[in-house]
Structure 1
Amino acid sequence: MTTYVALLRGINVGGHKKVPMAALRELLTDQGYGEVRTLLQSGNAVFTASEKAPAALSREIQQAIEESFGFEVRCVVLSAAELRGVVERNPFPRSSFEPSKLVVIFLSGPVDPERLSGIDPQGYLPDEFRLGEREIFLHCPNGLGRSKLADVLGAADLGVTATARNWNTVTKLVLMTES
Protein backbone atom coordinates (compact mmCIF):
# COMPACT_ATOMS: atom_id res chain seq x y z
CA MET A 1 0.00 0.00 0.00
CA THR A 2 1.10 3.54 -0.77
CA THR A 3 0.29 6.62 1.30
CA TYR A 4 -1.23 9.57 -0.55
CA VAL A 5 -2.38 13.10 0.25
CA ALA A 6 -5.47 14.62 -1.37
CA LEU A 7 -5.73 18.41 -1.34
CA LEU A 8 -9.24 19.59 -2.16
CA ARG A 9 -9.62 23.01 -3.73
CA GLY A 10 -12.08 25.64 -2.53
CA ILE A 11 -14.23 23.72 -0.06
CA ASN A 12 -15.75 25.09 3.15
CA VAL A 13 -14.91 28.68 2.17
CA GLY A 14 -17.54 31.32 2.94
CA GLY A 15 -20.27 28.74 3.38
CA HIS A 16 -19.83 27.37 -0.15
CA LYS A 17 -19.11 23.81 -1.21
CA LYS A 18 -19.50 22.42 2.29
CA VAL A 19 -17.76 19.11 2.78
CA PRO A 20 -17.61 18.06 6.44
CA MET A 21 -14.37 16.25 7.19
CA ALA A 22 -16.23 13.31 8.79
CA ALA A 23 -18.19 12.93 5.55
CA LEU A 24 -15.00 13.16 3.50
CA ARG A 25 -13.35 10.46 5.60
CA GLU A 26 -16.42 8.24 5.15
CA LEU A 27 -16.53 8.89 1.40
CA LEU A 28 -12.84 8.02 0.95
CA THR A 29 -13.24 4.90 3.08
CA ASP A 30 -16.27 3.86 0.99
CA GLN A 31 -14.09 4.29 -2.12
CA GLY A 32 -11.83 1.57 -0.73
CA TYR A 33 -9.03 3.75 0.59
CA GLY A 34 -7.47 2.83 3.92
CA GLU A 35 -6.26 4.64 7.04
CA VAL A 36 -8.15 7.81 6.05
CA ARG A 37 -7.34 10.87 8.14
CA THR A 38 -8.06 14.56 7.61
CA LEU A 39 -6.39 17.78 8.72
CA LEU A 40 -8.26 21.04 9.27
CA GLN A 41 -11.51 21.88 7.48
CA SER A 42 -9.89 22.93 4.21
CA GLY A 43 -9.89 19.52 2.58
CA ASN A 44 -6.64 17.80 3.42
CA ALA A 45 -6.83 14.01 3.52
CA VAL A 46 -4.16 11.38 4.03
CA PHE A 47 -4.98 7.80 3.01
CA THR A 48 -3.51 4.56 1.74
CA ALA A 49 -4.31 2.82 -1.53
CA SER A 50 -2.82 0.37 -3.98
CA GLU A 51 -0.14 2.12 -5.99
CA LYS A 52 -1.82 4.18 -8.68
CA ALA A 53 -1.09 7.36 -10.61
CA PRO A 54 -2.02 10.42 -8.52
CA ALA A 55 -3.98 11.85 -11.47
CA ALA A 56 -6.17 8.73 -11.56
CA LEU A 57 -6.80 8.96 -7.81
CA SER A 58 -7.66 12.63 -8.22
CA ARG A 59 -10.25 11.82 -10.90
CA GLU A 60 -11.77 9.08 -8.70
CA ILE A 61 -12.03 11.40 -5.70
CA GLN A 62 -13.46 14.27 -7.74
CA GLN A 63 -16.11 11.98 -9.25
CA ALA A 64 -17.04 10.53 -5.84
CA ILE A 65 -17.40 14.00 -4.33
CA GLU A 66 -19.58 15.21 -7.19
CA GLU A 67 -21.80 12.13 -6.95
CA SER A 68 -22.06 12.38 -3.18
CA PHE A 69 -22.32 16.15 -2.64
CA GLY A 70 -23.72 17.33 -5.97
CA PHE A 71 -20.99 19.81 -6.90
CA GLU A 72 -17.59 19.70 -8.54
CA VAL A 73 -14.47 19.94 -6.39
CA ARG A 74 -11.06 19.82 -7.99
CA CYS A 75 -8.25 18.16 -6.08
CA VAL A 76 -4.55 17.51 -6.32
CA VAL A 77 -3.22 14.15 -5.15
CA LEU A 78 0.41 13.47 -4.27
CA SER A 79 2.13 10.40 -2.91
CA ALA A 80 3.81 10.78 0.48
CA ALA A 81 7.17 10.64 -1.31
CA GLU A 82 6.12 13.45 -3.66
CA LEU A 83 5.03 15.59 -0.71
CA ARG A 84 8.39 15.01 1.01
CA GLY A 85 10.06 16.01 -2.26
CA VAL A 86 8.18 19.33 -2.19
CA VAL A 87 9.51 20.00 1.30
CA GLU A 88 13.04 19.11 0.22
CA ARG A 89 12.82 21.40 -2.84
CA ASN A 90 11.76 24.44 -0.82
CA PRO A 91 14.04 27.13 -2.26
CA PHE A 92 13.72 29.45 0.75
CA PRO A 93 16.19 28.78 3.58
CA ARG A 94 14.33 27.66 6.70
CA SER A 95 15.89 30.49 8.71
CA SER A 96 14.56 33.11 6.28
CA PHE A 97 10.79 32.68 6.69
CA GLU A 98 7.99 32.28 9.19
CA PRO A 99 6.05 29.10 8.36
CA SER A 100 2.73 30.97 8.18
CA LYS A 101 4.16 33.30 5.51
CA LEU A 102 5.33 30.64 3.09
CA VAL A 103 2.69 29.09 0.86
CA VAL A 104 2.96 26.15 -1.49
CA ILE A 105 0.62 26.22 -4.45
CA PHE A 106 0.21 22.56 -5.39
CA LEU A 107 -0.41 21.86 -9.07
CA SER A 108 -2.02 18.90 -10.80
CA GLY A 109 0.82 18.90 -13.32
CA PRO A 110 3.85 20.85 -14.43
CA VAL A 111 3.30 24.44 -15.52
CA ASP A 112 4.85 25.88 -18.63
CA PRO A 113 7.05 28.71 -17.24
CA GLU A 114 5.81 30.84 -20.13
CA ARG A 115 2.43 31.08 -18.33
CA LEU A 116 4.19 33.03 -15.57
CA SER A 117 6.42 35.13 -17.81
CA GLY A 118 4.10 38.16 -17.66
CA ILE A 119 4.61 38.51 -13.91
CA ASP A 120 7.39 40.97 -13.10
CA PRO A 121 8.85 39.70 -9.79
CA GLN A 122 10.42 43.10 -9.03
CA GLY A 123 6.99 44.71 -8.99
CA TYR A 124 5.84 42.62 -6.02
CA LEU A 125 8.82 42.72 -3.65
CA PRO A 126 9.27 41.80 -0.86
CA ASP A 127 6.98 38.94 -1.96
CA GLU A 128 8.72 36.29 -4.05
CA PHE A 129 7.78 33.10 -5.86
CA ARG A 130 9.70 30.17 -7.28
CA LEU A 131 8.37 27.57 -9.68
CA GLY A 132 9.05 23.99 -8.65
CA GLU A 133 8.20 20.71 -10.36
CA ARG A 134 4.45 20.56 -9.64
CA GLU A 135 4.34 23.44 -7.17
CA ILE A 136 4.93 27.13 -6.77
CA PHE A 137 6.57 28.39 -3.59
CA LEU A 138 5.25 31.80 -2.54
CA HIS A 139 6.92 33.76 0.25
CA CYS A 140 4.95 36.73 1.61
CA PRO A 141 6.95 38.34 4.45
CA ASN A 142 4.13 40.80 5.23
CA GLY A 143 1.45 38.12 5.19
CA LEU A 144 -0.65 36.44 2.55
CA GLY A 145 -3.62 38.76 3.12
CA ARG A 146 -1.55 41.78 2.06
CA SER A 147 0.11 40.13 -0.91
CA LYS A 148 -0.64 41.46 -4.38
CA LEU A 149 1.56 38.72 -5.80
CA ALA A 150 -0.69 36.07 -4.22
CA ASP A 151 -3.66 37.70 -5.97
CA VAL A 152 -1.86 37.72 -9.32
CA LEU A 153 -0.79 34.07 -9.00
CA GLY A 154 -4.31 33.12 -7.91
CA ALA A 155 -5.77 34.73 -11.01
CA ALA A 156 -3.14 33.39 -13.42
CA ASP A 157 -4.21 30.87 -16.03
CA LEU A 158 -1.80 28.08 -15.20
CA GLY A 159 -3.56 25.45 -17.31
CA VAL A 160 -3.71 23.04 -14.36
CA THR A 161 -5.61 22.67 -11.09
CA ALA A 162 -3.95 24.65 -8.29
CA THR A 163 -4.60 24.70 -4.55
CA ALA A 164 -2.54 26.43 -1.87
CA ARG A 165 -1.45 25.42 1.63
CA ASN A 166 0.75 27.28 4.10
CA TRP A 167 4.00 25.75 5.26
CA ASN A 168 2.58 24.79 8.66
CA THR A 169 -0.09 22.67 6.97
CA VAL A 170 2.43 21.16 4.53
CA THR A 171 4.73 20.01 7.31
CA LYS A 172 1.81 18.64 9.38
CA LEU A 173 0.69 16.62 6.36
CA VAL A 174 4.19 15.22 5.95
CA LEU A 175 4.13 14.11 9.60
CA MET A 176 0.71 12.51 9.06
CA THR A 177 2.08 10.48 6.14
CA GLU A 178 4.85 9.16 8.38
CA SER A 179 2.65 7.98 11.24
Structure 2
Amino acid sequence: MALLRGVNVGGKNKLPMADLAAIFADIGCCHVSTYIQSGNVLFSAPSTLLKKIAKLVQDRIATRFGIQVPIVIRSSEQLADTLRANPFLKMGKAEATLHVYFLADKPGTDAVNGLDAARSTPDEFRVIHQEIFLYLPNGMARTKLTNAWFDSKLKTVSTARSWATVNKLLALMQA
Protein backbone atom coordinates (compact mmCIF):
# COMPACT_ATOMS: atom_id res chain seq x y z
CA MET A 1 0.00 0.00 0.00
CA ALA A 2 1.16 3.51 -0.77
CA LEU A 3 0.12 6.48 1.34
CA LEU A 4 0.56 9.81 -0.42
CA ARG A 5 0.74 13.00 1.60
CA GLY A 6 -1.19 16.13 0.82
CA VAL A 7 -3.06 15.25 -2.36
CA ASN A 8 -6.54 16.61 -3.03
CA VAL A 9 -6.58 18.51 0.26
CA GLY A 10 -8.29 21.90 0.27
CA GLY A 11 -8.13 22.16 -3.51
CA LYS A 12 -4.34 21.77 -3.55
CA ASN A 13 -2.20 19.14 -5.22
CA LYS A 14 -5.05 17.89 -7.37
CA LEU A 15 -4.38 14.34 -8.46
CA PRO A 16 -7.16 12.25 -10.02
CA MET A 17 -7.20 8.79 -8.45
CA ALA A 18 -7.72 7.09 -11.84
CA ASP A 19 -4.51 8.72 -13.09
CA LEU A 20 -2.69 7.75 -9.90
CA ALA A 21 -3.79 4.12 -10.27
CA ALA A 22 -2.63 4.16 -13.88
CA ILE A 23 0.82 5.34 -12.80
CA PHE A 24 1.13 2.38 -10.43
CA ALA A 25 0.00 -0.02 -13.16
CA ASP A 26 2.42 1.52 -15.67
CA ILE A 27 5.43 0.88 -13.42
CA GLY A 28 4.52 -2.78 -13.01
CA CYS A 29 2.12 -3.02 -10.06
CA CYS A 30 -0.87 -5.37 -10.20
CA HIS A 31 -4.33 -5.33 -8.60
CA VAL A 32 -4.17 -1.54 -8.26
CA SER A 33 -7.03 0.28 -6.57
CA THR A 34 -7.47 3.51 -4.64
CA TYR A 35 -9.48 4.35 -1.55
CA ILE A 36 -11.07 7.78 -1.18
CA GLN A 37 -9.51 10.82 -2.81
CA SER A 38 -6.64 11.42 -0.39
CA GLY A 39 -3.97 9.22 -1.93
CA ASN A 40 -4.36 5.68 -0.62
CA VAL A 41 -3.24 3.13 -3.21
CA LEU A 42 -3.57 -0.61 -2.76
CA PHE A 43 -1.46 -2.80 -5.04
CA SER A 44 0.70 -5.85 -5.32
CA ALA A 45 4.18 -5.79 -6.79
CA PRO A 46 7.23 -8.01 -7.19
CA SER A 47 9.73 -7.67 -4.34
CA THR A 48 12.31 -6.28 -6.81
CA LEU A 49 9.99 -3.34 -7.47
CA LEU A 50 8.87 -2.59 -3.90
CA LYS A 51 11.94 -0.59 -2.86
CA LYS A 52 11.71 1.59 -5.98
CA ILE A 53 7.99 2.28 -6.06
CA ALA A 54 7.93 5.49 -4.03
CA LYS A 55 10.65 7.15 -6.12
CA LEU A 56 9.21 5.96 -9.45
CA VAL A 57 5.72 7.19 -8.59
CA GLN A 58 7.01 10.50 -7.18
CA ASP A 59 8.95 11.15 -10.39
CA ARG A 60 5.96 10.39 -12.60
CA ILE A 61 3.63 12.57 -10.54
CA ALA A 62 6.14 15.43 -10.67
CA THR A 63 6.52 15.09 -14.43
CA ARG A 64 2.84 14.76 -15.23
CA PHE A 65 1.21 16.98 -12.60
CA GLY A 66 4.03 19.27 -11.51
CA ILE A 67 3.70 18.48 -7.80
CA GLN A 68 6.03 16.90 -5.27
CA VAL A 69 4.24 14.27 -3.23
CA PRO A 70 5.85 12.36 -0.35
CA ILE A 71 4.93 8.66 -0.37
CA VAL A 72 5.11 6.13 2.46
CA ILE A 73 4.86 2.40 1.69
CA ARG A 74 3.39 -0.23 4.03
CA SER A 75 2.63 -3.94 3.63
CA SER A 76 -0.56 -5.52 4.91
CA GLU A 77 1.48 -7.15 7.71
CA GLN A 78 2.88 -3.78 8.75
CA LEU A 79 -0.59 -2.24 8.72
CA ALA A 80 -1.96 -5.10 10.83
CA ASP A 81 0.90 -4.52 13.30
CA THR A 82 -0.07 -0.84 13.43
CA LEU A 83 -3.66 -1.72 14.30
CA ARG A 84 -2.52 -4.00 17.11
CA ALA A 85 0.03 -1.52 18.52
CA ASN A 86 -2.16 1.53 19.14
CA PRO A 87 -1.68 2.37 22.83
CA PHE A 88 -4.62 4.79 22.91
CA LEU A 89 -7.03 2.16 21.67
CA LYS A 90 -5.81 -0.11 24.45
CA MET A 91 -6.58 2.72 26.90
CA GLY A 92 -10.16 2.84 25.67
CA LYS A 93 -9.95 6.20 23.88
CA ALA A 94 -12.73 6.83 21.37
CA GLU A 95 -11.74 5.69 17.89
CA ALA A 96 -12.98 8.97 16.39
CA THR A 97 -10.18 10.76 18.30
CA LEU A 98 -7.39 8.50 17.03
CA HIS A 99 -5.01 9.11 14.11
CA VAL A 100 -1.70 7.74 12.88
CA TYR A 101 1.27 9.40 11.24
CA PHE A 102 3.06 6.86 9.08
CA LEU A 103 6.79 7.63 8.91
CA ALA A 104 8.99 6.97 5.88
CA ASP A 105 11.91 6.05 8.16
CA LYS A 106 12.31 4.82 11.72
CA PRO A 107 13.38 7.81 13.82
CA GLY A 108 16.38 7.70 16.12
CA THR A 109 15.88 7.26 19.84
CA ASP A 110 17.45 10.64 20.65
CA ALA A 111 15.10 12.42 18.23
CA VAL A 112 12.05 10.67 19.72
CA ASN A 113 13.18 11.45 23.28
CA GLY A 114 13.60 15.11 22.28
CA LEU A 115 9.95 15.56 21.33
CA ASP A 116 7.90 17.87 23.54
CA ALA A 117 5.06 15.75 24.95
CA ALA A 118 3.27 18.90 26.19
CA ARG A 119 3.38 20.73 22.85
CA SER A 120 -0.38 20.53 22.27
CA THR A 121 -2.24 19.46 25.41
CA PRO A 122 -4.69 17.77 25.77
CA ASP A 123 -3.42 16.00 22.63
CA GLU A 124 -1.12 13.03 23.18
CA PHE A 125 1.20 11.01 20.98
CA ARG A 126 3.35 7.89 21.14
CA VAL A 127 6.08 6.99 18.66
CA ILE A 128 6.27 3.25 18.11
CA HIS A 129 8.55 1.90 15.38
CA GLN A 130 7.65 3.83 12.20
CA GLU A 131 4.33 5.21 13.40
CA ILE A 132 3.17 8.05 15.58
CA PHE A 133 -0.09 7.24 17.31
CA LEU A 134 -2.17 10.30 18.11
CA TYR A 135 -4.98 10.94 20.54
CA LEU A 136 -6.60 14.21 19.46
CA PRO A 137 -9.73 14.89 21.54
CA ASN A 138 -10.29 18.24 19.79
CA GLY A 139 -9.58 16.93 16.29
CA MET A 140 -6.78 17.04 13.75
CA ALA A 141 -7.52 20.64 12.70
CA ARG A 142 -6.77 22.05 16.17
CA THR A 143 -3.58 20.21 17.09
CA LYS A 144 -0.03 21.55 17.02
CA LEU A 145 1.16 17.99 16.43
CA THR A 146 1.56 18.53 12.69
CA ASN A 147 3.39 16.77 9.89
CA ALA A 148 5.79 19.69 9.64
CA TRP A 149 6.66 19.58 13.34
CA PHE A 150 7.22 15.82 13.47
CA ASP A 151 9.10 15.79 10.16
CA SER A 152 11.50 18.51 11.32
CA LYS A 153 12.10 16.92 14.72
CA LEU A 154 12.39 13.31 13.52
CA LYS A 155 14.18 14.05 10.22
CA THR A 156 11.78 12.01 8.10
CA VAL A 157 8.53 12.34 6.16
CA SER A 158 5.12 11.52 7.61
CA THR A 159 1.58 11.23 6.36
CA ALA A 160 -1.54 11.09 8.53
CA ARG A 161 -4.61 8.89 8.41
CA SER A 162 -7.62 8.70 10.70
CA TRP A 163 -8.10 5.50 12.67
CA ALA A 164 -11.22 4.72 10.62
CA THR A 165 -9.23 4.99 7.39
CA VAL A 166 -6.45 2.76 8.73
CA ASN A 167 -9.02 0.11 9.63
CA LYS A 168 -10.71 0.36 6.23
CA LEU A 169 -7.38 0.12 4.38
CA LEU A 170 -6.44 -3.06 6.19
CA ALA A 171 -9.87 -4.57 5.47
CA LEU A 172 -9.42 -3.77 1.78
CA MET A 173 -5.91 -5.21 1.76
CA GLN A 174 -7.13 -8.46 3.31
CA ALA A 175 -10.22 -8.79 1.08
Using structure 1 for the length normalisation, give the TM-score: 0.87
Residue in 1 that maps onto 2:137: 141
Structure 1 counterpart of 2:58, one-letter code: Q
Question: What displacement does 1:30 show?
Answer: 1.6
Distance 1:135 1:89 in 2: 9
Write the deviation string for residues 65-123 of structure 1: whole angstroms up to 9, x where unpaired: 22222222110011111111111111123562222311100011101232244443245
- Of 136, 149, 153, the residue aligned with 1:155 is 149
Task: Select which of 135, 147, 162 maps to 1:166.
Answer: 162
- Give the number of aligned pairs: 173
- The alpha-carbon deviation at position 133 of structure 1 amounts to 0.7
- 2: CA distance, partners of 1:85 / 1:31: 28
Indicate the residue corresponding to 1:19 in structure 2.
15
SS at match of 1:121: coil
Instruction: Identify the residue that residue 85 of structure 1 maps to in structure 2.
Output: 81
Q: Give the deviation of 1:32 after TM superposition.
A: 1.6
Shift of 1:14: 2.3
Contact 1:107-1:161 within 8 A present in 2 as well: yes
Unaligned runs of at least 5 residues, structure 1: none
Match for residue 10 of structure 1 among 6, 10, 19: 6
Q: How far is 1:37 from its partner?
A: 0.9
Per the alignment, do residues 135 and 124 of structure 1 end up closer, same or farther by CA in structure 2, a change over 3 Å counting?
same
Identity of aligned residues (%): 37
Correspondence 1:28 to 2:20: no
After superposition, give the CA deviation of every residue in 1:120-144 in whole Å (9 maximum; x if it has no partner): 3245333111011111001112222
Quote the residue 2:171 is aligned against.
Answer: 175
SS at match of 2:52: helix
Pair 1:123–1:68, CA change in 2 (3 A)? closer
CA change 1:39–1:160 in 2 (3 A) is same
Structure 1, 64-73 or 157-166: larger mean CA deviation: 64-73
Distance in 2, Cα, partners of 1:52 & 1:136: 28
Partner of 2:127: 131
Instruction: Give the 3-state SS of the residue equivalent to 2:170 in structure 1.
Output: helix
d(CA) in 2 for partners of 1:128, 1:53: 36
Q: Cα RMSD (Å) of the superposition?
A: 1.9
Report the AA paired with residue 88 of structure 1: R
Aligned-pair CA distance for 1:23 = 1.1
Report how far residue 56 of structure 1 moved: 2.4
**When the two structures are superposed, what TM-score results if normalisation uses the length of structure 2?**
0.88
Query: 1:16-75 CA distances to partner (integer Å, 9 max, x unpaired)?
Result: 211011111112112221111111111001001112475422112212222222222110
Q: Note if contact 2:89-2:95 (Cα within 8 Å) is conserved in structure 1.
A: no
Asked if the contact 1:129/1:138 (under 8 Å) is kept, the reply is yes
